Structures are given as C-alpha cells and as structure tokens.
Structure 1
Amino acid sequence: MENRNQTLELLVSKVKEKKLQNGLTVLFYPYKREDVVTVKLCVKVGSAYEKESEAGITHLIEHMIFKGTETKKPEDIVGVIEALGGYMNAFTSYDYTCYYVAGPSTVAEKALDILSDVVFHPYFDPLELEREKEVVIEEMKMRLDNPFVVLFENLMKASYKKYPYRRPIIGYENTVKSFKREDLLNFLNHFYTPKNMILIVVGNLEENKLFSLINKYFSFLPKRKLKKVIFPKETYTEEPSLIWIERPVKEGYFAFTLPGASFRDEDAPYLDLLSEILGGGESSRLYKRLKRDLNLVKTISASSYTPYGPGLFEIYGTADPQNFKEIIKETLLELEKIKLLGVSSEELNKAKTQILSDFVFSSETSEGLSSTLGSFQLVRGSYKDILWYQKKIETATIEDLIRVSKKYFNPQKLVVSFLSEKKLFDNTELKKIISTFGHNIQLPEIFTLNNNLKVILYPQNDIPSVGVTLAFPGGLRFETKETNGVFQALSLLWTRGTKNYTAEELAEKLESIGTTIKGFTGRNTFGLKMLSLSSKLDESLEYFKEILIYPSFEEKECEKAKPELYSLLLRQQDQPISLAVNEFLKVLFPDHPYGLNSAGSLEFYQKFTCEDLKTIYKKFVRPERGVLVITGNFELTSVKEKIKNLFNDWKSETQETILEEPEPIFPKNLFTRIEKETFQTQILLGFQTPGLNAKEKVALEILNSALSGQNGRLFRILRDEKSLAYSVTSFLIFYPKKSAFVLYIGCSPKKEKSAITGFWEILEEIKTHGLLPEEIERAKNRLIGSLKLELQSNLSISEEMAINEVLGLGWNYSLLYENLVKSVTDEDIKNLIETFFKRENAVLFILGKNENRNHK
C-alpha cells in the first residue's frame, strides 16, 4: 500500500492552485507521461439548480455553447480544435457542467481561447436554438429506447421526494420547447460567473507560460452576480416503494436504492467500501450469493452515488423477471448480515485495495486526472481532499461499516424498480416481502521463448501499474454459423476456475491484491489481459499462468455462464442501434463469418458444453500463435527471467492446421428493411471496402474521420443544419479480408426519407468534388490526436501492441501511424471514393416503423 500512498501524495503535491482576481479558481497538474493536455472549465451549476419550469435548460445551454459566440461561428469552435488533433465536448450533471478539450499539448492555447469565449460570450442564435431544441428532443427519444436509462430515470423520480435530482438532467419536451434566447441568457447570467467556476489543466506544459495564457484569456470576463439557490431537505420515502415499467423487452432489468450520503459527508468513503464489498466484483457478496450460489441473476453490481446533495446506495443488474421476488429477499438478507455481523477483515482489506488502486489506475491519463481533481474541487471544495478520502479508506474499521450500514440500510426506505415485459406483482406484495423479511520512453525488448511464444517487454516506469496482454488470432472471423459465440463463451469461462483454484477462490485471490485478469475476444483476435500493481506483479503473473495453462472449463461453470451469454443477446435486442448493426452486417457479408453476430448466437449458447470450449482452447491457445506484451513499471531483467521460468515449458496440445476465413462475396440484397416498434428509425448505408492489411486502410480511416465528429460533414449537415437527428455518424469495422464502411443515423420515422436523401447528397458531393483540403487535414489530426489519447494507460498500450503484432500490422504500428497518416494524399482519398463508394455497391438497411406502409 506504500507505493499507492506515495503516488496520491505526490499527485496532490504537484498540483498548482491559483485564484485569479475575478474569483476564478485554476488547478494545473504538470502531466509528463505523454505530450497531451486536457483543459476543463467547470461551472458549479447543474440541473439541480433549475426550477421546474426550467427543467433541461442547463443541458440545452451546454449544447448551445458550441453554436457560436459574439465573434466566432460554430465552425470556428469544435472544428478548430479537431483541426489541431484534439476534440471538444461537454457534459451536464445534476451538480455541475463541464466543457473540455483534450488533445496534443499544442492545442492548449486554442483550447483556453475557445473555452473562454464560448462559455462567457455565447451568442445563442435564435435559429440555431430552434434547431438544437429539435436535436435535444431527438436525444430524449433515443434515451427512451435504452432500457437502463428508462429504468434509472424512473428510479430517480421515485427515490427523491423533494430534491431536484428527481428530474431528468435532459429535462422535458414541453420545457425544452418553451425556452427562448432570453431564458438561456438570463440563466447563464445568474450562474456563469468566474467565482462559480473552476479551470482545470492537466498536461505537458510549462507552468509560467500556461498561467500567462490563462491570464490572457480569463482575466477580463463579464461581471455577473451569482444567484443563490436554496435546496430542499430530502426526506426520501417513508415506506417501501415499487416502480414497474412495462416494455416489450427480452431481458429483465432491476435496480434498488436506499438513502445514501453526500460526498461532503464523512460517511461517503465508508459507503464506497460497502458497495465494493457487496457488489464490486466476482468475489463480492451479492455476486457470490445471487449469481454463483443461487443463480438468480445474470449480472449484479452495487455502487454508492455520492453527489453534492443527498446521495443513494444503488444495487442493479439483469435477471429473469420470475426471480425478482427472490432477488429482493436475498439482497436484503445480505444487507442485514452486514448490519448484524459486519464484514471480515479480508473483505475490508480487499475493498480498500480495490478502491485505492482505482486512484492509481485513473492517474495514468490526463482526462482521468482532470476528472479526479475536478470532482473533489467541485463537490468537496478542494482537490486536497483526495488525501482525506485516502485516509478515511485506509483507517476504516469493521465497526465503521457496521455503524454506517445501520444508518443507511433501512428496508422501509427501499425503492425497487423493475423493467420487463409484464408486471408480476404490486407494491402491496413488496411491502409483504419486506415485512416478513428475516428478522520515460524505453524501447521494448523482444524475444521468443523455446515454444515460439513471442514476448515484448515495454517498461514505462512512471506509474506503479503494469498492463499485460496475451493475444492470439481468433474471434468472430474463425467462427461458423454453428459455432457463433464460441469465443465469447471461451473468454468468459477462461477465468472461471483452474486446476488448482475454483472460480470463487481465484476471484478472491486476485481481488485481494488489486489485480484484474479477464478473457477478451473481438472480431479478429482473442486472449487474456491483466492489470496489476507493480508491487504485486510476480504474484499476479503466477495467477496469469495458472489461468492460461490450466483452465478447468467445468460443466457446472458452463451452465452458470449461459444466462450471462444469453444476456448479451437479449440486451442487444433491446438496443435498436446494436440490433441494426448486427442485422446490417448479415446483409453486407452474406454467408460469411464477418456477418455473424459478435455477441454470439442463441442456438450455440443453448447447446454448447465445456468440451466444446476445451476443443477450441486446444486448437487456438497455442504458444506459437501468441504474442505476450507487458507494459508498465517493472525491472526488465527480473521480469524477463520470470517469463522464461513461467512459460518456456508451455507446449501446444495439438498441431491441427487452422484455416483462415474465405474472401467475402458481394452482398445479395442491396436494400433490407426490418420493421420494429421503436421511437427512432435506425438507418445504415454501407459498403464493402478493403481490409485492415490493405494499403487503403489509413485512407479509409481518414475518410471516416472527415465524415464523423462534431465538425464532420454528417454532423454539420444532417444534425446542425437540418436537425434530422441527435445521433449521426460514420464508422469502420475492420477485418483482414474486407471492412465495412457505414453511415449511420437514428431519427424519427417521419424523417427517414430526408435522412437517406441527405446521405446520398453528401456522398455524391464527395464523389464529384472530393474532400476539401482542410477537411483532410482536420481528419488526419483527429486520428493522430485520438491515438495519442488512447495510448495513455499501460493496459491500452499492451493491448494495442499485442493485437497489432498478431494481425500482421506489427507491434510498432502505433509508433509508425502518424507518418502513415501524413503520407496519404488528396489523390489517394479521391481514388478511394471513386473505386469503392459507387451507388451500385451500396447496401441500405432500415430498422424501425414503416411510416409509408399504410399509404401505398
């Protein structure tokens, strides 16, 4: 724990805090890990500060901030940031609103310039406002198609009786439609004052130069009088309350709340410990009891919501609806056990390790650091309270947890929320259940073991964590219609027991040292990945070997895992966009592995046994096919010897030849519609394009980057100019032989024709005239900036290197990527469009209501 303590103390000691004469608080952290920066300007006003008639105005202002200032047009805001390789975004919470820019360090001055202008001098053009209100309403409709969003919005309304957290942050359709320009300006003038804001900068910047720039852009700001808001005292419910949402869904969803604490309260850290012990992992109490022992749930988790105001203790998951009653009983029983008997010292120490480890892992990235500093400064009043939190966690006792559980775990204040196809019982039954209830950069060292396992060791000795990835060729492209889902099952069950440990024992041991080991699978690769503290690496590698070489794949574990695999499919069916993408790929890649469902198939999950997994494991998990990458804080020589000792004797159990997937054929159907009752129609227009090993790969990525993003053509034209949707973008799905280039929009059924027409108008314009030079430049900078941001954590670096090596791109592909991107010419883009984006090669797919069906 000593390394962790020193890391947090060093983190806090490096922060530079200054307050400008106008009251603006500035926090700067000199981030040296990578040449990146995150600039975040937060206002201490969120939806909780709104009156009922103002519901959603904070969120709408957040949207409108990007739509121009007194001196800048919309394209001079996000577009300028993206052109420099960064990205700009914002979010609204109940308690505060943040606007931020992340990207290469060179974006810092422009970020400060633009953030200062957009936040303090927004124009709120009336025409743009009317358009954006339509976009927000589309966002509301999109949220209605997400079961968990619907569940939690209803749950918040029921859990809070008086406090404004009961209202959705996005507001209501009638209130959003009613807002005028003067309403937004009036609200902004009341709260957007310097002394009500915090500017956080985490980046590789020179301090004096930075503060000179901050003074330049933030010293001369409008003077406004801060409005004081008096919040009501929250009483919570006085008796058990049931909310049941009936929806035509395939899965059952549940969520429970109990009163919780504000993050300003001394109890908040203890509730975090309780949530970790109850539902923070596979050795947690709720998971072991409700999932492992009783198999009542498919997934279950717990969390402590500790905002500025009154908080909640939350438990949520998925299950078959017929189990809902028993889930309530067993959950309450686990809460009662803690109140009466407390927790074990092992559970407490494990929870402390998990929670404090999160601070270490989050400090790897500039965005993670800015979020941590911001949340403490905004909610508790000082980033230095990170050390308060650390001390509270470290010194917490079993008696502290018993006291806090007795204070907050009152069944009479329980709010239960279900979402399923049919309501199975009412509030009276809930009350009955409760009343009867129980009483610095270094080149990697690369070598190959005797068994031909390739090993890449890449020390990064600034953060005391280590990321490990072992990747193999595999995944969806090696599946058939009959075996669709086998790699999902393999990756899930791989860590569920070994020759020497049961699944429970393994989870217990790993979580007690703050280590995570998980199987992963994708469309092209699969394998194992691990995140460990440096001090625990030797021990963690022993468990990694145990899981890799000696998995047990017991039949009882297969049966227990099947509901989780079913849940992947059921949740997919409940998400129109996921369903649409899945069905679209079937059409684009007919009778081919590329068209299979990445979540697997019900037919396979129903019939497979662990013998099937043992067979696929023996065939694909072979040292000569693998690449092991270790990145992070470790001593090179000792780890190299450790790896040799652990894995030199690992041998393949078979020499069976593995055939690659065939070349995909051309799509049979160019237009497909699937009718489904949804609030939004999902439209996908796509093409078969060259695969990830083709020379056109980077050009395809540049085209995609130019079309997508907040200043991409799709967003600017179809959303900003035509207000057709909240969500519109393009995306690429890469396979070795082919890729899928897809344009996507989710819109109201009545906007379907306009959306499709809009797609074709954009494509025809690009085919005729190509992309503008500035669009190509912006797209290139976006790709380069995004990669830098992605590769900040040790685990993400190890994954990137291992997968690129397995796929034939080379372990150093990310190091070469910037030059590859910059070498693509305007002519390359034009040739790409002319060759692969022909109308006769386009596949159109629509999921949703057919508004024209009754008018034929």
Structure 2
Amino acid sequence: MYQQQTLANGIRFYGEYIPQARTASVGIWVKAGSATELEQENGLSHFLEHLFFKGTETRNYKQIAAEFDNLGIQSNAYTSKEMTCYYVKAIDSKLSEAVDILTDMFCHSVFPEKEVEKERGVILEEIAMSLDTPDDLLMDRLSEEFFAGTELSRTILGPAENIRTFSRAQILDYRSKHYYGENIVVAAVGNYDIQKLLAELEETLKSVPSKGEGRKYVPEIDWKPVKKEFCVHKDIEQAHLGIAFPGPGIGDADRYAFSILANVLGGGMSSRLFQKVREELGAAYSVYAYPSMYYQAGALVIYAGISAEKTELVKQAILREVRGLRENGISEEELEHTKTQITASYIMGQESTSAKMNQLGRNALLLERIIPEEEILANVQNVTLKDMQRLTERVLQEEAMCTGWVLPQE
C-alpha cells in the first residue's frame, strides 16, 4: 500500500507499507549532487554528506556509530550527480530509534572545524584511490568527456584542488541553499506505523526551512554529443576501454526499451558482447554494458578490461556487435528472453526493503511520483520489436560515440 503526504515545511513523504516485512528502510533524499554545483563548488555535495556523520548537538560521532551498531541498525549515505541520500534500515521494533538518530544527524549536525579538516583528508585519499583505480578513472573521464558542457560532466568527488580550499563557511552556505523542504523527499518502505512515523518526521524535521535557492533541473539540456576519443596512460598492466552512446533519461518513455538494449548487448553471460569478446575471442575477462539514466539525459556505457596487445581487436569486435544490432535489430526470441531476465532481476531486487526504498526515493525526488511495481513490469512486457528498432537507431550513433582508454605506460 502506497502513501503520500507533505509535511508542514514542504518535505514530501512517500511510503510503501508492507505489513509482512520484519524490517523498514527510511531515506532522506536531497536534490543536491554534482549536477547542482557550480564549477567552483564541485565536490561540496559529497563533502557535506561525509560531515553529517561527525556529530550533532547531543551526539558525538562515536555515539552515533555506537547507537547504530548497538541497535542493529544499518546506516549509510551516498552522493550521486543529481542527489544525496541518507538512510537507515532497522528491524520494525527499532525503527523509531533509527529515525531519531537519522533526523538528529540531518537537522542538528554541528560540523566541528576539526572534523571538517579530518574529513578533508579522507576525501583527498578517496580521490587518490579513484585515480589509482583504472576503471574508476576511466568512467569518471568518460562521463566528463561525453557530457562535456553540461552539469552532468562534473565528477561526484570533485577535483582535489577544490577539496583543499573549501571552508566550513562554504560548506554551511551550500547546505543552506539546497537543504530545504521543497527540495527534500523522505521515502519509507517496510513494516511501520504510518501515523506514528509521520508524527515523528513532522516533529524531528520541523527545523528544516521550507524555501531555499537550490537549482531546478530543466527537463532537457541543450547538449549534442560529438564523436571523440581520449587516452590516459597509467602505470598498470591491463588496458581499459570505455564507450558511451547517448540514451534517454529516466522520465523518457523509451527507458524500458533502453534497459532491454543494454541487457542484450552486455547484460549477462548470454549477451552479445560476453559471447563474442570473452567466449569466442577469449580477449577479455570482463566485458559488459549498462544503461546510465539521469533526469535530463542518459548514456549506454560499454566497458572492457583487456590486455594491451588486444585493444584494437576488442574495440573492433565491440563495434561490429553494435553495428549488427543497429542494422539487424534483435529477434523476437531474444526480446522475450531479455524481458524475462529483467523481470526476474527486478522482482528479486524488490525483496529488500532498502532496494525498494532506493527506487521509490529516486523516482519521488526526480519524477515526483511513485511508479508501482505492476506499472514497471507491464512497461517492460509492452516493449515491441518496433520499439527496439527505433531505439537502437536513436542510441547507437557512431557519430555521437565517445571512446576512452586507460592504457599502460609505454
């Protein structure tokens, strides 16, 4: 059973009550990520997310961690390009305690200067680790190049030079601009008392202001991807290849066909890329494709980890599969098998209250609606061969393809 309510300060609540569940997951979602940052602010959303765990007016960071652990509560947070989420998962009898700690962190964190400096060092290490991880480095650069000129090109961690210079005052100013009622969604899934939970949220979140200056996403961006290729050399053994094609955003009617396309191309062991590149050619251990969808746009991303002497062999094999898919489409049998795979994967994932909460929260924040499970599954089943042919022509455009390499140093 789905529920929707708006709190007094404009925070929107979306819930799915599952009485047979023994757990409940609650997340606070803020429309603040790297895509809402200005160039000089890049990295602030993620920096701020880290600091919410560093102490409140009544709990220091050790007490926060101890209370979560002692009550068996799972807690975490993450930042993406379009949003930041803070969440807890607890057994139903401990949900009130979990929500109390979560909302205390969200509303009453004090951001001690000492903790700001400590976390600055942690994030700089996180950036260094990302730069030393070839596939992470590749995907960040691929996104930067592919979405060049748009907000989506900015990395989530931000550049190290920004992190080194952010002051506590800048961090708090960014929070005041983006963390306001109309820019926030609370999502809950599982076994909970709706009236009790709403009363707790109304009380504990009442200090959040209703208005702010957060940036609004426009439905479309003035962006035309162009064909380009880049290369980064690192002291590594293996070569890493990434390819991006333009795709639909999460509000686009083609998003279900887009998921099918990515699955057919590189979603599993029976996918075209896995069968060709790994099974037939024996040229890669890891090769896959996935759909990356944002509010304004999306990308079909292909990845392969290969030995340096096989780079051209693998690239051409991938392009032959892409061209074959564009020119010849997929068979009815392939379409039906893929629908079954996607349906099964979705249903299995929905057995977790935290997974359901993540989907509900993202849709509520960006699309401002709950998309019921029945609607999602029906939309997958309703995709036709004609839909797939139209989508492959829309997506698999080599003139808009961005290719990236991370190669061993010569």
User: Any conservation in 2 of the 1:31–1:202 contact (CA below 8 Å)?
Assistant: yes
C-alpha distance in 1, partners of 2:174/2:388?
42
1:228–1:422 Cα change, 3 Å: closer
Cross-structure match for 1:401? 388
C-alpha distance in 1, partners of 2:193/2:217?
41
C-alpha distance in 2, partners of 1:383/1:145?
39
Displacement of 1:129 in angstroms is 0.9
C-alpha distance in 1, partners of 2:373/2:175?
30
Match of 2:39 among 49, 52, 77: 52
User: Any conservation in 1 of the 2:36–2:215 contact (CA below 8 Å)?
Assistant: no
Query: What is the identity, as a one-letter code, of the residue corresponding to 2:186?
Result: L
Query: What is the identity, as a one-letter code, of the residue corresponding to 1:25?
Result: R
Displacement of 1:230 in angstroms is 6.1
Pair 1:238 & 2:226 matched: yes
Q: Secondary structure at the match of 2:230?
A: strand
Displacement of 1:266 in angstroms is 1.4
Mean CA deviation greater in 396-405 or 71-80: 71-80
User: Any conservation in 2 of the 1:161–1:236 contact (CA below 8 Å)?
Assistant: no
1:615-663 CA-to-partner distances (Å, cap 9, x unmatched) read xxxxxxxxxxxxxxxxxxxxxxxxxxxxxxxxxxxxxxxxxxxxxxxxx
User: Any conservation in 1 of the 2:179–2:212 contact (CA below 8 Å)?
Assistant: no
Cross-structure match for 2:133? 146
User: Any conservation in 2 of the 1:252–1:318 contact (CA below 8 Å)?
Assistant: yes
Cross-structure match for 2:352? 365
5 Å-filtered alignment, 1:85-100, equals 85-100=72-87
5 Å-filtered alignment, 1:757-772, equals none
C-alpha distance in 1, partners of 2:313/2:222?
30
Pair 1:250 & 2:237 matched: yes
User: Any conservation in 2 of the 1:105–1:204 contact (CA below 8 Å)?
Assistant: yes
Cross-structure match for 1:77? 64
C-alpha distance in 2, partners of 1:339/1:393?
20
Cross-structure match for 2:379? 392
User: Any conservation in 2 of the 1:39–1:101 contact (CA below 8 Å)?
Assistant: yes
Displacement of 1:252 in angstroms is 2.3
Query: What is the identity, as a one-letter code, of the residue corresponding to 2:226?
Result: E
C-alpha distance in 2, partners of 1:230/1:287?
37
C-alpha distance in 1, partners of 2:325/2:188?
42
Q: Secondary structure at the match of 2:5?
A: strand
5 Å-filtered alignment, 1:135-214, equals 135-214=122-201
Match of 1:292 among 263, 266, 279: 279
5 Å-filtered alignment, 1:446-845, equals none
Query: What is the identity, as a one-letter code, of the residue corresponding to 2:237?
Result: K
Pair 1:106 & 2:93 matched: yes
User: Any conservation in 1 of the 2:73–2:98 contact (CA below 8 Å)?
Assistant: no
Q: Secondary structure at the match of 2:238?
A: coil
User: Any conservation in 2 of the 1:68–1:118 contact (CA below 8 Å)?
Assistant: yes
Displacement of 1:234 in angstroms is 4.7
1:418-449 CA-to-partner distances (Å, cap 9, x unmatched) read 222146xxxxxxxxxxxxxxxxxxxxxxxxxx
Cross-structure match for 2:305? 318
Q: Secondary structure at the match of 1:406?
A: helix
Pair 1:377 & 2:364 matched: yes
Cross-structure match for 1:568? none
1:511-540 CA-to-partner distances (Å, cap 9, x unmatched) read xxxxxxxxxxxxxxxxxxxxxxxxxxxxxx
Cross-structure match for 1:40? 27
Larger Rg: 1
User: Any conservation in 1 of the 2:242–2:301 contact (CA below 8 Å)?
Assistant: yes
Pair 1:276 & 2:263 matched: yes
C-alpha distance in 2, partners of 1:277/1:65?
41
User: Any conservation in 1 of the 2:57–2:108 contact (CA below 8 Å)?
Assistant: yes
Mean CA deviation greater in 177-186 or 111-120: 111-120
Percent of aligned pairs with the same amino acid: 25
Q: Secondary structure at the match of 2:320?
A: helix
Displacement of 1:413 in angstroms is 1.4
Moved over 6 A (4+): none
Cross-structure match for 2:111? 124
C-alpha distance in 2, partners of 1:67/1:52?
26
Displacement of 1:233 in angstroms is 2.9
C-alpha distance in 2, partners of 1:244/1:62?
32
C-alpha distance in 1, partners of 2:123/2:371?
37
Q: Secondary structure at the match of 1:168?
A: coil
User: Any conservation in 1 of the 2:25–2:188 contact (CA below 8 Å)?
Assistant: yes
1:468-500 CA-to-partner distances (Å, cap 9, x unmatched) read xxxxxxxxxxxxxxxxxxxxxxxxxxxxxxxxx
C-alpha distance in 1, partners of 2:79/2:20?
29
Query: What is the identity, as a one-letter code, of the residue corresponding to 2:37?
Result: E
Displacement of 1:84 in angstroms is 1.0
Query: What is the identity, as a one-letter code, of the residue corresponding to 1:166?
Result: S
Where does the alignment leave 5 or more consecutive residues of structure 1 unmatched? 1-13, 424-856
C-alpha distance in 2, partners of 1:254/1:321?
10
Q: Secondary structure at the match of 2:9?
A: coil
User: Any conservation in 1 of the 2:339–2:381 contact (CA below 8 Å)?
Assistant: yes
C-alpha distance in 2, partners of 1:406/1:203?
41
C-alpha distance in 2, partners of 1:303/1:354?
14
Q: Secondary structure at the match of 2:52?
A: helix
User: Any conservation in 1 of the 2:146–2:153 contact (CA below 8 Å)?
Assistant: yes
Displacement of 1:336 in angstroms is 1.9
Q: TM-score, normalised by structure 1?
A: 0.46
Query: What is the identity, as a one-letter code, of the residue corresponding to 1:292?
Result: E
Cross-structure match for 1:302? 289
User: Any conservation in 2 of the 1:78–1:88 contact (CA below 8 Å)?
Assistant: no
When the two chains are superposed, the root-mean-square deviation of aligned CA atoms in Å is 2.0
Query: What is the identity, as a one-letter code, of the residue corresponding to 1:56?
Result: G
User: Any conservation in 1 of the 2:254–2:391 contact (CA below 8 Å)?
Assistant: yes
User: Any conservation in 2 of the 1:162–1:233 contact (CA below 8 Å)?
Assistant: no
User: Any conservation in 1 of the 2:55–2:110 contact (CA below 8 Å)?
Assistant: yes
Displacement of 1:223 in angstroms is 4.0
1:285–1:418 Cα change, 3 Å: same
Cross-structure match for 2:7? 20
Displacement of 1:303 in angstroms is 0.6
Pair 1:340 & 2:327 matched: yes
Cross-structure match for 1:847? none
Mean CA deviation greater in 288-297 or 262-271: 288-297
C-alpha distance in 2, partners of 1:147/1:37?
37
User: Any conservation in 1 of the 2:150–2:221 contact (CA below 8 Å)?
Assistant: yes
C-alpha distance in 2, partners of 1:391/1:94?
29
1:597-626 CA-to-partner distances (Å, cap 9, x unmatched) read xxxxxxxxxxxxxxxxxxxxxxxxxxxxxx
C-alpha distance in 2, partners of 1:91/1:161?
24
C-alpha distance in 2, partners of 1:24/1:154?
35
C-alpha distance in 1, partners of 2:372/2:31?
18
Displacement of 1:250 in angstroms is 2.3
1:193–1:58 Cα change, 3 Å: same
User: Any conservation in 1 of the 2:226–2:400 contact (CA below 8 Å)?
Assistant: yes
